[in-house]
């Protein structure tokens, strides 16, 4: 039995020995699941079980404390599909206890947590986070997937995937070798929705009103548990939503609290102008 933990919750994985070995060695696991803390090769205390069985057709069913994934790795499922389903189940468990995963990056700047948020790729979230670390001496909390709880950034994916040509140009890999990695929880002080221009000058900054910020953060926190980006089997099999009224009600209350207590800014400009603007905002708060 394999136990996988993330953000203080864990699930038991019941699967074949061959799949067990593939999961243990999966680099994708470590670059996809935020705050993955352990791959425990023994039975541990877990109230949720994901059973994975071989089948000529793909299916996913969910029973509250148990989920069943059917398919055949190498034919209609990939190891990435399996990891996707594992993280999906973990997100259900995380949200039940008030931990939320959002698509973005995060850094700790002089003890102040900055969440760099954006629902689509290419806005410059990773570029901004890495440059804050290399140029402004911030500490790296995570990229792609960030975990939130109460008023704190509690973790994220620590591995940086260079999957865009612009990222190679803006922040070469050798620049990030010595950046500090933050492993402690950090109080969230600022949310930024960036749009980084590679050329030109000029800055556009907008402080979002509380209602608009509420809509943005609630929508972002809802994506992972509702299956918006969860498709497996070569993106042909959409996973069912795992959301419920009780979970969404708690998430709505959290979005309202967050938007009322943390400033949300939309900032457009080149990387240096945006970084300087963020430092200026924090110095005034």
pLDDT above 70 coverage of the chain, percent: 94
What is the arithmetic mean of pLDDT over 135-153? 95
What topology is assigned to 100-220+250-284 in CATH?
Phosphoenolpyruvate Carboxykinase; domain 3 (3.90.228)
Q: Domain boundaries in the chain? A: 2-97, 100-220+250-284
pLDDT band at 45 (very low <50, low <70, confident <90, very high): low
CA distance 273 to 169: 17
The string of pLDDT tens digits covering residues 187-224 is 999 999 999 887 767 899 999 999 999 999 999 999 99
The string of pLDDT tens digits covering residues 228-278 is 989 999 999 999 999 999 999 999 999 999 999 999 999 999 999 999 999
Give the pLDDT score at 171.
77
Count of residues for the chain?
A: 285
- Please report which residue ranges of the chain form alpha helices under DSSP H: 17-24, 27-32, 79-96, 125-135, 165-170, 210-223, 245-261, 271-284
């Amino acid at each position: 039995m394999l136990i996988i933990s993330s953000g203080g919750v864990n699930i038991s994985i019941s699967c074949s020995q061959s799949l067990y070995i593939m999961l243990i060695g999966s680099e994708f696991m470590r670059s996809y699941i935020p705050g993955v803390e352990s791959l425990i090769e023994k039975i541990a205390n877990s109230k949720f079980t994901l059973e994975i069985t071989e089948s000529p057709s793909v299916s996913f069913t969910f029973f509250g404390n148990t989920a069943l994934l059917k398919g055949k790795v190498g034919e209609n499922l990939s190891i990435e599909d399996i990891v996707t389903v594992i993280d999906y189940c973990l997100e259900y468990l995380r949200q039940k206890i008030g931990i939320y995963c959002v698509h973005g990056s995060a850094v700790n700047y002089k003890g102040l947590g900055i969440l760099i948020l954006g629902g689509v790729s290419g806005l410059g979230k990773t570029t901004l986070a890495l440059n804050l670390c290399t140029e402004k001496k911030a500490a790296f909390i995570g990229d792609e997937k960030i975990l939130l709880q109460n008023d704190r950034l509690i973790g994220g994916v620590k591995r940086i995937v260079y999957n865009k040509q612009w990222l190679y140009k803006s922040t070469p890999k050798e620049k990030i070798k010595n950046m500090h990695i933050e492993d402690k929880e950090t109080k969230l002080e600022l949310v930024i929705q960036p749009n980084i221009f590679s050329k030109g000058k000029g800055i556009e900054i907008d402080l979002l009103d509380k209602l608009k910020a509420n809509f943005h953060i609630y929508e972002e926190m809802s994506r992972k548990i509702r299956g918006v980006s969860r498709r497996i089997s070569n993106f042909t099999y959409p996973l069912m939503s795992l959301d419920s009224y009780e979970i969404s009600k708690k998430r709505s209350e959290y979005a309202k609290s967050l938007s009322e207590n943390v400033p949300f800014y939309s900032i457009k400009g080149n990387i240096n102008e945006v970084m300087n603007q963020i430092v200026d905002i924090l110095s005034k708060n």
